[in-house]
Structure formats: C-alpha cells, structure tokens
C-alpha cells in the first residue's frame, strides 16, 4: 500500500488537483511507487490529503488516462504496468518480490496501529511500553557519563561476558541459577523468539500456546515456516488440552507467558506452573517461557518462573529490559541448556553479529550499580497509580457494558465487552476521535469482544478523556 505523508499547499497558485497529479507522478517516476503498488481508496485519499472526493476522482482519472494508474472493480487503484513511459527503462516487478519474501506480512490491523503510533496527537490506549516520562532517562544518562571508556566493538557470540555475569547473578533473585555460559544476549525478546524459531524448529512443526496471545500479533513463528495452535483456558485445564493434542498430533514446544500474560494480564499461580512443567516434562515437550513483565508486579511479587522449577533443562527462559527499563535499549536474553545456547549464538552471529555493544554496556552497568532495583520501584509506584485510576474510570463508564479483572502487574487490563462490535468500524471511528486501540482480534483472530487497555503509556488525563469517549462510542455502535 502506498504511504502518503504529504498534503497539497493551499498557499500556492497551482491548483490542488494539479499538485496531487504531480505528487503521484513524482512518486512513480523516482521509483518509490513501483508497478502494482496499490493506492488508498478514494475516500481515504480525500481524507489524507484533506480535499473533496471529487478532486481525487478527477486527479486519478487524468493519471489513468495517461496510463500511469489503472482501476479494477474490487481491486482498487494501482500503479499501471505501462508506467515505464515515465522512465528510461521498465523497473523490476518489486510487488512480486514483496509477495515472495520469507517474512510473513503483519496483520493489517497491526500495520495500521504501527503507522498510527507515529502520530503524536493520537492517544495510544493499547501501547505496550512505558510513557516517556516514566523512562529512567536521567539514570541512563548518568551511567554513560560515569565512565571514560565505553566499549564500541563487537562482543563475543553469546554477548558481553560482563553483562551475562550480571544477569546470572540477577536471575538468582528469581530463583533461577544459570551460569554466564548458559545465557545468550539478544536484541530484545522478539529476536529471542526469532532465533528459536529459525535455529531450533523444523519447517512445518507446531507451537502450542495459551490463546489469546501476543504471538498472534507478530508472525515470528509463521515466518520461519512453523505453525501455531492456540489452547483456550476454559473448563478444561491447559495441561489436559496439551495431553489431548499430543495423543493425536505432534508439537515442537509450548510457548508460555505465565507472569502478567500479554494481553490478558493473567498471573498463573504456583500450582498451575508446576502442573504445566510436569506435563511438558512427561511429554518431552520443551517450553519457551516469555517473562518480560516479571519485575512489574504491583501488589505482590509473582511466583517463581517456570525456569526456577526446572531441573531437567526443559525451559528456554526469555526476558528483556524493554518493558522495565527502556524499549530503546533493545536488550533481551535467552537462558537454557548450553548446547542450545551455543546453537542460538551461532544463529545470532548470522543475523546481526551481536547486540549493540553500547546497549549491552548500559544494561551491565544498570544491574551492577543497583540502579535497576531503585528505578523499578519508582516505575511500579507510577504504574500502580495509573492502574488504579483506570480501574476507577472503568467502574465509572463501563460497568454496564463490559467486565474486567484487576491485574496484579504488567501493563494491561483485558476488557471484555458484553456485546460484540464490528472491529474495523470500531477501530476506525475511535481513531477518528484520536484514540488508538488494540482490539482483541490482534491476539485472537475470532475475537470481537475484547480490548487490551494499557495504563503504561497514556497520561491519566488522556486515559480519563479517551475512556469516557470510548464508552460513548461503544454505546452508539451497539444501539
């Protein structure tokens, strides 16, 4: 889809329609919009360019008459394959390359969210990151100023030994005992999943997970040629569902997010964790434990991770500094059996030759100086206030139209609407009011009842405004 971040200049003497025609011609001529590139709908173009739809119709008609665009019923308007009359020679058919790439495209709704997040005027009601004012910017700046020498070269394949040593010590606070040799530094927790998918799993293998799930929102496993299969926690326990599945089919591993689950915020209790680990050990089914939110408990520390209970090397434990420190640091880790870590380290060297040395240095100093404990407590205090404010706002505006649970940590409240809503209409109408949503359909393609509400990014004033507006919008749609 062609991206447009331009508007015609009404102060010029050049007619608006002519400006639009010249803009599109230039995009085609310089190769940004290649053969087959699809343009937004006429209605969307009129909205983006802030002009009447009749102006768009006239401009597109003239470009079509010149052979630059073509319109097909049901397919919309695309750049014509005759546009090479603008160029010295025909350009490659880049659309064919785009459609043939190894990486699966993001879900359309995710693409729309990613674009809208760049707009500073939008209230990001579902964003899974800390607000800029909650980030420990001063502490990180102080760390960088406190040393004369900062490492800027490549680190060893598993990552900075100094950082892995600090992580080894830090993870002991979670009852996880691993040596530096059993830890791989990654460029965030998403890369950890990519390395596991590409470095350990055969094409066509299946990953089980608890649905809804974050891994539905990023096609990381699908891009590696593997399948995902969701298990829904209802009357039948997840472990029983795993056993039932494995009786008739085969799975490569189970993806678990037991601490402040994304998107539901659910916290598995100790007994649930023990049952899952025992079941997977009995079935020789490895577990990926995604524990990005462990430090962000708000009421009481969570039970020990699955990895802390693991005595057989069953669990690959992934974590990150993105949630509790800063998304810009892009430092995560995998802890697991040494042969697995060796293999994944080799895979990582083929992808980016190691995480940023500067970021690894900041992360190592962050742990070594003890700043992490102090900064995390401040973040927890701020998140606790925001969570409680949102819970009160939901009580004030949503008690008749939705239900929810109080999260004990993390960033999210999983809001369930009593009546379903048409997701795309709902999303677009909210965005028109300056409110960006994360609908449940992102995490479960069949979901039309849920919203992931984040209290970590929007300010309390923004939360108050947007939730009040959202409640009114839901009522108007459900009439």
Domain with CATH 3.40.640.10 in the chain: 148-370
DSSP state of 53: H
Distance CA 415, CA 398 (A): 9
Quick check: 226 and 181 in contact, CB under 8 A?
Answer: no
* DSSP letter assigned to residue 355: S
Residue 404 region by backbone torsions, left for phi larger than 0, else alpha for psi between -120 and 50, else beta: beta
CA 246 – CA 230 distance, rounded (Å): 13
CATH 3.90.1150.10 fits 109-133+374-478, yes or no: yes
Q: Which of 327, 262, 247, 272 has its CA nearest to residue 294?
A: 262
Q: What is the structure's pLDDT at 160?
A: 95
Taking CA atoms, 107 is separated from 111, 112, 208, 217, in Å, by 6, 9, 20, 7
pLDDT of residue 400: 96
What pLDDT sits at residue 83?
A: 53
Q: Specify the CATH number for 16-101; select among 2.20.28.10, 3.40.47.10, 1.10.10.10, 2.60.120.10.
A: 1.10.10.10
Write out the two tokens for 306: 């699955």
- Give CATH 1.10.10.10 domain extents, the chain: 16-101
Q: Give the DSSP H or E segment for 232.
A: strand 227-232
Q: How far is CA 276 from CA 89, 315, 410, 444, in A?
A: 60, 11, 22, 22
Query: DSSP assignment of 265-318, as one string?
Result: -----HHHHHHHHHHHHHTT--EEEE-TTTT-BSSSPPPPPHHHH-SSS-EEEE
What is d(CA 362, CA 98) in angstroms, rounded to the nearest whole number?
37
3-state secondary structure of 412: strand
Ranges for all domains in the chain classified under CATH 3.90.1150.10: 109-133+374-478
479 residues of the chain, pLDDT tens digit each: 888 989 999 999 999 999 999 999 989 888 788 888 899 999 999 999 999 999 999 999 999 988 899 988 777 899 887 655 555 455 667 667 777 776 777 678 888 998 899 899 999 999 999 999 999 888 888 888 877 777 787 889 999 999 999 999 999 999 999 999 999 999 999 999 999 999 999 999 999 999 999 999 888 999 899 999 999 877 678 999 999 999 999 999 999 999 999 999 999 999 999 999 999 999 999 999 999 999 999 999 999 999 999 999 999 999 999 998 988 889 999 999 999 999 999 999 998 888 889 899 999 999 999 999 999 999 999 999 999 999 999 999 999 999 999 999 999 999 999 999 999 999 999 999 999 999 999 999 999 999 999 999 999 999 999 999 999 999 999 87
DSSP assignment of 113-156 equals HHHHTT-TTSEESS--S--GGGS-HHHHHHHHHT-S----S---
Q: What is the pLDDT of residue 478?
A: 87
What Cα–Cα distance (Å) separates residue 189 from each residue in 185, 199, 261, 301? Answer: 10, 15, 15, 22
d(CA 265, CA 240): 22
pTM to 2 decimals?
0.82
Cβ neighbours, 10 Å, residue 235: 6
What's the CATH code, domain 148-370?
A: 3.40.640.10
List residues bridging with 289 in a β-sheet: 256, 317
């Amino acid at each position: 889809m062609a991206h447009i971040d331009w508007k015609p200049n009404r102060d010029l003497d050049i007619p608006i329609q002519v400006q639009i025609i010249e803009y599109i011609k230039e995009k085609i001529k310089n190769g940004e919009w290649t053969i087959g590139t699809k343009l937004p709908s006429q209605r969307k173009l009129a909205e983006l360019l802030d002009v009447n739809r009749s102006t768009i119709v006239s401009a597109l008609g003239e470009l079509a008459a010149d052979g630059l665009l073509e319109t097909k019923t049901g397919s919309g308007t695309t750049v014509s394959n005759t546009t090479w009359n603008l160029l010295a020679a025909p350009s490659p058919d880049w659309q064919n390359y785009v459609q043939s790439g190894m990486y699966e495209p993001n879900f359309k709704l995710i693409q729309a969210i990613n674009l809208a997040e760049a707009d500073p005027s939008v209230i990001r009601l579902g964003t899974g990151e800390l607000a800029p004012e909650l980030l420990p910017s001063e502490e990180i700046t102080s760390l960088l100023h406190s040393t004369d020498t900062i490492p800027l070269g490549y680190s060893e394949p598993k990552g900075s030994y100094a950082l892995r040593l600090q992580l080894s010590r830090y993870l002991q606070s979670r009852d996880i005992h691993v040596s530096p040799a059993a830890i791989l530094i990654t460029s965030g927790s998403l890369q950890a999943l990519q390395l596991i998918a590409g470095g350990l799993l055969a094409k066509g293998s299946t990953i089980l997970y608890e649905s809804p799930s974050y891994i539905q929102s990023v096609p990381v496993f699908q891009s590696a040629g593997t399948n995902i299969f969701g298990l829904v926690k209802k009357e039948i326990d997840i472990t029983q569902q795993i056993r039932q599945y494995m009786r008739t089919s085969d799975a490569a591993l189970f993806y678990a997010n037991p601490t402040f689950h994304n998107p539901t915020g659910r916290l598995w209790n100790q007994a649930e964790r023990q049952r899952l680990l025992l079941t997977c050990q009995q079935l020789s089914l490895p577990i990926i434990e995604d524990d990005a939110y462990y430090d962000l408990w708000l009421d009481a520390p969570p039970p020990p991770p699955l990895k802390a209970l693991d005595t057989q090397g069953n669990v690959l434990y992934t974590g990150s500094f993105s949630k509790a420190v800063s998304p810009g640091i892009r430092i995560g880790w995998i802890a697991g059996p040494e042969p697995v870590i060796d293999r994944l380290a080799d895979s990582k060297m083929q992808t980016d030759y190691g995480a940023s040395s500067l970021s690894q240095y900041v992360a190592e100093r962050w742990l070594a100086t003890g700043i992490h404990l102090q900064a995390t407590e401040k973040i927890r205090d701020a998140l606790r206030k925001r969570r409680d404010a949102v819970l009160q706002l939901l009580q004030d505006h949503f008690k008749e139209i939705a239900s929810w649970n109080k999260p004990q940590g993390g960033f999210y409240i999983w809001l369930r609407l009593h009546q379903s809503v048409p997701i795309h209409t709902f999303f677009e109408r909210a965005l028109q009011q300056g409110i960006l949503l994360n609908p449940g359909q992102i995490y479960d393609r069949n979901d039309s009842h849920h919203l992931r509400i984040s209290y970590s990014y929007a300010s309390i004033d923004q939360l108050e405004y947007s939730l009040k507006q959202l409640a009114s919008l839901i009522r108007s749609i459900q009439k």
